Amino acid sequence: MLVDNLPQDEHTIRILLTTDNHVGYAESDPIRTSDSHLTFHEITQIASTNNVDMIVQGGDLFHITKPSKKSMYHVMQSLRLNCMGDKPVEIEMLSDPEVLGSFGVNYEDPNVNVSIPVFAISGNHDDATGEGLLSAMDVLAMSGLINHFGAIPDSENITVSPLLFQKGTTKLALYGMANVRDERLHRAFRDGIVKFLRPDIHTDEWFNFLAFHQNHATHSFTSSIPESFLPRFLDFILWGHEHECVPYPVHNPEMEFEVLQAGSSVATSLSEGEVPDKHIFIMSVRGQDYSIEPIKLTTVRPFILKVLELSKTDLIPGAASKSDVIEYLTSEMELAIEAANTKWKESNPDRTDTPPLPLIRLKVEYSGGYEIENVKRFSNRFVGKIANANDAIQFFKKRQPREQTLNRTKFNAIEENTMNKKSTELQLHDIINDFLKQTQLTLIPEVGLNDAVKRFIENEDKTSLSQYIEKEVKRETKMLLSVDIDEDQFHNGDDVKAKNAFKQLLKEIAPSASIPVEIDIPDIPVPAQEEVHHILDSESDVEILSDDDCAPKAKSRAKPKTRAPAKSRTTRTRNKN
């Protein structure tokens, strides 16, 4: 139960809560290069100053799946300076420490001197990649600096087991769930394959805490996780992934638990969700009660966003008033810069140094025939005054409703879908998603391809597309070779019959496709043998699997027929290298 204050004694567990630190964001920017790791260092300093018992990090510690040496260095430096030392750790771990790995919890390792243990889950930016499927979080855990928990090795059979701690008479059950693609996890909850284990001793005496990293806002029916999917016995949820900071727990009267959306510690986009002040939280737990203390971060660069509508001003539409429009926008930018500097000084009354360059975004609606200037040219007027001197302004028009027409092209439909989004920030993977829905992909799953594009954009994983295509080519080739084919039908008939037979074959191996198979088969020689994987349908989840895991499961087995010589074939398949 949430209360205002709790006594700070030997029965109270103090936890610092943070999430979405995105260390490494904009580190190639000459102005914002240090923003993310300076704020993370401030967070660990707050933990040390306030004498907390542990830090719980809710995912996305790094901004990309393969953080740079600079990012890794600064995170390790902050953890060593502020979370290691001679201060004894007063919480006792009651569960099996080997659930955290062969070395167990770091503060019980005699070779590591930990004063504040850090428990962190993986977010969508912390994906495991490469051979061995290791993430940067695994590297930090092996170094003894953090405890990486909440991994989900099998997304088709999810069992969430808690880490059990005790301090005095207070018992804490710490649950964690690493990020899983929202559609997949939504389906897992719906199908009842997500299980939460509870302690079998003094079951009702534990304070049940869940660290969670999924979509909280409802983007579509299956692309977010409703709070009602989570178990009712939970007391508190630290919800990561969403960057908007809500500085207080929100009670769910149906499920009877509280949810804290802590938000990110650095602005990674110039959008409405990044406008609220950034906070971390110190949570005190005593018995079944807890209290929350928000602490505003002082190293965050000030950010001002203003929405302007030219039609609501005295400006006259047309080319003749272009200079007046630019003058008006320039004055609004100057006012925003002044407001940002004032905001920083009010938040840091004890500091006498110059405020950092602020982030400013003007969103200007210019419908009605107004003439505007190039975005970059206008933004460059404020070099030396703002931190984002290349994209300080965004122009947009209100979309006028228009009647539906039968002759509208596919690309017009794509444009309309993207413009109807609540956010005016157009994202590339949204365009790819809409485009793929209108294509007729039969062999490569559309969902998986869009997911690979999303990882390429958001996580800067440059190998995600090539790895996905290579794996899918292997899957599909293996499935094709495993099908019992009538050689006479393929090789002794004319080209038309062969093409029809191949189309029928595609329908058989992709029975879930809801679109007709229309494929142009060029005359390209067929490779004799290829390594392959089995095909996933459009509802499938994309995973990197071993060849043994990807073996096809046919409903019935037929004796393979003798293959005819390749030179006599008239039907060709497309060979992708």
Instruction: Kindly report the three-state secondary structure assignment for every residue of 263-284.
Output: CCCCCCCCCHHHCCCCEEEEEE
Across 513-545, b (16+ Cβ under 10 Å) vs e yields beeeeeeeeeeeeeeeeeebbbbbebeebbbee
Q: Which residues are catalytic?
A: 125
pLDDT in the model for residue 97: 87
Kindly give, in sequence order, each residue whose CB lies less than 8 Å from that of residue 433, ignoring residues fewer than 6 positions away.
Answer: 450
- Could you give the CA distance from residue 471 to residue 459 in angstroms, rounded to a whole number? 20
SS3 content of the chain, % helix, strand, coil (to 5): 30, 20, 50
Location of structure tokens 């490469």? 130
- Could you give the CA distance from residue 320 to residue 418 in angstroms, rounded to a whole number? 32
pLDDT in the model for residue 494: 64
**Can you say how many angstroms the Cα of residue 238 is from the centroid of all Cα atoms in its chain?**
16
Beta strands 279-286; 257-261: pairing state? unpaired
Element (H, E) at 364: strand 359-365
pLDDT in the model for residue 62: 96
CB atoms within 10 A of CB 358: 21
pLDDT in the model for residue 75: 97
CB atoms within 10 A of CB 174: 23
- Amino acid at position 440, single letter: Q
- Could you give the CA distance from residue 66 to residue 136 in angstroms, rounded to a whole number? 7
Q: Is 236 exposed, middle or buried (0-12, 13-18, 19+ CB in 10 A)?
A: buried
- Could you give the CA distance from residue 209 to residue 236 in angstroms, rounded to a whole number? 5
CB 64 within 8 A of CB 459: yes
Torsion of the alpha carbons at 42, 215, 441 and 420, rounded to the nearest 10: -100
pLDDT in the model for residue 67: 94
pLDDT tens string, the chain, 577 residues long: the values are: 899 999 999 999 999 999 999 999 999 999 999 999 999 999 999 999 999 999 999 999 999 999 999 999 999 999 999 999 999 999 999 999 888 988 899 999 999 999 999 999 999 998 888 777 899 999 999 999 999 999 998 888 999 999 999 999 999 999 999 999 999 999 999 999 999 999 998 999 999 999 999 999 887 778 889 999 999 999 999 999 999 999 999 999 999 999 999 999 999 999 999 999 999 999 999 999 999 999 999 999 999 999 999 999 999 999 999 999 999 999 999 999 999 999 999 988 888 889 999 999 999 999 989 999 999 999 999 999 999 999 999 999 987 665 554 444 444 444 444 344 444 344 565 677 677 666 666 667 766 777 777 767 666 666 777 777 877 787 777 777 776 666 665 566 566 666 676 666 666 655 444 434 444 444 444 444 444 343 333 333 334 334 444 444 444 444 444 444 444 444 444 444 4
pLDDT in the model for residue 529: 42
SS3 call for 119: strand
CB 102 within 8 A of CB 144: no
- Could you give the CA distance from residue 118 to residue 113 in angstroms, rounded to a whole number? 13
- Could you give the CA distance from residue 80 to residue 344 in angstroms, rounded to a whole number? 29
Question: Nearest CA to 65 among 469, 463, 467, 546?
Answer: 463
- Amino acid at position 30, single letter: P
Question: Nearest CA to 359 among 376, 345, 373, 339?
Answer: 339
Q: Name the E strands within 182-322.
A: 194-196, 206-213, 236-240, 250-252, 257-261, 279-286, 289-296, 303-309
pLDDT in the model for residue 560: 46
Compute φ and ψ for 467, nearest 5 degrees: -65, -40
- Could you give the CA distance from residue 242 to residue 20 in angstroms, rounded to a whole number? 8
pLDDT in the model for residue 429: 57
Question: Nearest CA to 267 among 455, 59, 40, 25?
Answer: 25
The structure tokens listed for 195 are 């299980």
- Amino acid at position 423, single letter: S
- Could you give the CA distance from residue 527 to residue 575 in angstroms, rounded to a whole number? 7
Domains in the chain with CATH codes: 13-296 (3.60.21.10), 303-396 (3.30.110.110), 458-568 (no CATH)
pLDDT in the model for residue 418: 39
